[in-house]
Amino acid sequence: MNSKLKMAIVGAGVWGENHAKIYQAHPFAEVVAICDFDYEKAKVIADRNGIPQVYSDYNEMFLKCGCDAVAVVTPDYAHADISIAAANNKKHILVEKPLATTREDVFRMLDAFEKNDVRVMVDLHNRWSPPFNTAYQAVEKGDIGDVCSAYIRLNDIKWVATDMLPWW
């Protein structure tokens, strides 16, 4: 591979900075832009992580930054419109979970993804969560025999999305 995947990030919160660090450390990726409605917040992350372009309007960023793909790491309720705009600009998308907060938004998103022939992935990063990682290690070591099927359920409580995260 001769060229790096040019990533843009929408959302300058905790996960926006985590995504910036991960992509900047990857040998085949580079972050070319970050966007947040709070320009100064995005600028701080850009300065700390060597991101050359900063925007407060994701539509402008999609048009100007030259990215190949975008990470959508905003509050859940904002995923749909940003992802649809990215798809309409032919950008591949990694969106934090959940994909959307309403059934209608999911269908609007799917329509845009299919119409624009972009790849989309929902980021489920629980592989490092202790219960998930412990189960993985037990399977890898052969501690529980040959695995034919597995089911793990992760519950969350509403206050994480409504009170814990500083979205307002």
Over residues 62-75, the pLDDT tens digits come to 999 999 999 999 99
What is residue 136's predicted lDDT score, i.e. its pLDDT? 83
Stretch 131-152: mean pLDDT, rounded? Answer: 84
For residue 127, the model assigns a pLDDT of 62
CA–CA distances in Å: residue 16 to residues 50, 96, 108: 14, 10, 24
Q: Which of 64, 124, 70, 130 is nearest to 94 (CA)?
A: 70
Higher pLDDT, 168 or 115: 115
Cross-strand partners of 31: 7
Structural domains in the chain plus CATH codes: 5-124 (3.40.50.720), 135-164 (no CATH)
Percent above pLDDT 70 for the chain = 87
pLDDT in tens, 45-91: 999 999 999 999 999 999 999 999 999 999 999 999 999 999 999 99
Q: Which amino acid is at 15?
A: W
DSSP class of residue 15 equals H
Does residue 92 register a pLDDT over 90? yes
Query: Kind and range of the H or E element at 93?
Result: strand 92-96
pLDDT of residue 9: 98
> Taking 90 as the threshold, does the pLDDT of residue 43 lie above it?
yes
pTM of the model as a whole? 0.78
In the predicted model, what is the mean pLDDT of the chain?
89
State residue 120's pLDDT score. 97
